[in-house]
């Protein structure tokens, strides 16, 4: 037997026997009468106004008010609002700006507003000045082009003025071999302000140097040894003949290279890193000496001093005196050697120099004054040399050119059947004896003299030469 659940329908609830509250049955053919609002029903007759709004059903407003009462909020004491009324904004509403109601513009006006450019905020315009230089888009395009091609454009700084192009590249790219620098310039891959240049051309501030893609060997970040730096610094300081805040003059020993090269690990330029100051500035070389040439070597402590000292060399304001021990005795005790010199192998930075003719490729004029100070049994001569120009191997090539090569020279000494006198070491007997150069800051002359290296001092003692003897080269012409 199945039972049907009692009906939960509308006008009245059925009692037992299938009759509604009025006593009439609601059979299958009779529908319940709908509720008429104008005619009160039985439920309205029993309504009690004193018990309104106390049933289990509550509105959202009732729940909010009761929660406020629990919290102790004063909003519970305010009169409740009805759906047609506006709520009380409270004290916080005074601080909030009142937005104007949105109004839709006509279609024609809306189109004009959409097409018009949007004005920038006045505050941003007043605070942000107009950008100078290339925009970000142009910078990204330039960086992409550089990344794709590998071409770099360098701008010459003020302290790089009057610097040779090859020296400029060597300074900017220390890990680039010097032979590669010469090759780049010789092949025309490097452009200065859009034009080809020569290795000895000088640069001016503001010039743009276009550098082709370079394959640089990655420099390994090896931790420097504090003990090694201390030893290198002590060694360099032991060579100082003159020092001030802008420059120092070293007594470079025989056999120590000035700069690194193929197979050269220890050199002056590398040792100078141990003297790097707190500001990160490393002393810089101003000129070069051959590996086997001893004597005065100028080092600048700042880039500005380096540029000023290099300009003194180019303008021939610096005076240099060299001492050499040569084979034989020149017939003319004082003279002038003027030739053109060119490299036998242009691609080799340390190639042998040859006497060339005017107009030959790579030929440069070289001028040297010489004077014989003393001689030993008409076999050896003590020559004092004053170079006016500064070409590679100039003194060694000129001494060989007049038939009196320097003793111990492995490249230019070519006298047949010549025997080295006993007690004289087979080392290059060439010394950068004296240098006089204007100070980079005051302009006053700085005069420094270097002593004889050990092997030359031994030869001078053996031959009976007096190093304090008057040097007649001081009377030689200056140009």
Catalytic positions = 290
Which of 267, 265, 310, 303 shows the shortest CA–CA distance to 287? 310
Q: Is the dihedral of CA 246, 249, 253, 258 positive or negative?
A: positive
CA of 246: how far to CAs of 300, 448, 449, in Å?
6, 15, 19
Distance, in Å, from the CA atom of 404 to the CA atom of 388, rounded to the nearest integer, reads 19
Distance, in Å, from the CA atom of 60 to the CA atom of 50, rounded to the nearest integer, reads 21
Which of 64, 9, 8, 6 shows the shortest CA–CA distance to 33? 9
Q: Residue 406: is it exposed, middle or buried by C-beta count within 10 angstroms (0-12/13-18/19+)?
A: buried
Distance, in Å, from the CA atom of 255 to the CA atom of 288, rounded to the nearest integer, reads 14
CA of 151: how far to CAs of 169, 210, 212, in Å?
14, 7, 5
Sequence-separated contacts (24+) of 11-15 with Cβ below 8 Å = 11/35, 11/41, 12/42
Under 8 Å CB-to-CB from 449, ≥6 apart: which residues? 241, 296, 433, 434
Token pair in block for residue 347: 């691609």
Residue 20 CB neighbour total at 10 angstroms: 18
Distance, in Å, from the CA atom of 78 to the CA atom of 62, rounded to the nearest integer, reads 13
């Amino acid at each position: 037997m199945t039972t049907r659940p009692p009906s939960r329908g509308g006008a009245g609830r059925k009692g037992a026997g299938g009759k509604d509250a009025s006593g009439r049955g609601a059979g299958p053919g009779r529908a319940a009468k709908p509720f008429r609002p104008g005619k009160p029903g039985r439920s309205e007759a029993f309504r009690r106004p004193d018990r309104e709004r106390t049933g289990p059903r509550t509105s959202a407003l009732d729940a909010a008010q009761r929660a406020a009462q629990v919290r102790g909020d004063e909003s519970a004491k305010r009169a409740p609002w009805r759906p047609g009324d506006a709520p009380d904004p409270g004290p916080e509403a005074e601080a909030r700006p009142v937005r104007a109601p949105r109004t839709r513009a006509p279609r024609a006006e809306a189109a004009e507003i959409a097409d018009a450019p949007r004005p920038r905020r006045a505050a941003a315009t007043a605070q942000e000045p107009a950008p100078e230089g290339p925009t970000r888009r142009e910078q990204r395009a330039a960086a992409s082009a550089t990344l794709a091609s590998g071409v770099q454009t360098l701008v010459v700084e003020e302290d790089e003025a009057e610097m040779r192009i090859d020296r400029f590249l060597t300074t900017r790219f220390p890990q680039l071999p010097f032979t590669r620098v010469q090759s780049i310039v010789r092949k025309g891959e490097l452009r200065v302000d859009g034009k080809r240049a020569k290795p000895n051309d000088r640069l001016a501030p503001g010039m743009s140097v276009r550098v082709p893609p370079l394959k640089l060997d990655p420099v390994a970040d090896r931790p420097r040894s504090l003990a090694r730096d201390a030893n290198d610094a002590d060694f360099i300081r032991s060579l100082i003949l003159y020092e001030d805040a802008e420059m120092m003059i070293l007594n470079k020993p025989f056999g120590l290279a000035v700069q690194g090269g193929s197979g050269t690990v220890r050199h002056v330029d590398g040792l100078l890193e141990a003297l790097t100051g707190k500001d990160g500035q490393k002393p810089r070389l101003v000129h070069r000496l051959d590996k086997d040439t001893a004597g005065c070597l100028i080092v600048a402590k700042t880039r500005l001093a380096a540029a000023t000292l290099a300009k003194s060399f180019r303008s021939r304001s610096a005076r240099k005196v060299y001492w050499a021990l040569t084979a034989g005795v020149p017939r003319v005790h004082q003279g002038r050697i003027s030739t053109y010199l060119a490299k036998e192998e242009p691609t080799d930075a340390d190639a042998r120099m040859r006497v060339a003719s005017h107009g030959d490729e790579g030929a440069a004029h070289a001028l040297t004054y010489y004077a014989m100070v003393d001689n030993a049994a008409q076999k050896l001569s003590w020559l004092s040399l004053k170079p006016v120009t500064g070409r590679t191997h100039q003194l060694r090539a000129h001494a060989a050119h007049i038939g009196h090569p320097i003793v111990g020279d492995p490249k230019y000494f070519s006298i047949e059947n010549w025997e080295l006198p006993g007690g004289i070491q087979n080392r290059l007997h060439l010394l950068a004896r004296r240098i006089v150069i204007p100070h980079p800051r005051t302009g006053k002359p700085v005069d420094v003299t270097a002593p004889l290296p050990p092997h030359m001092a031994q030869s001078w003692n053996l031959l009976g030469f007096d190093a304090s003897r008057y040097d007649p080269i001081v009377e030689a012409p200056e140009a």
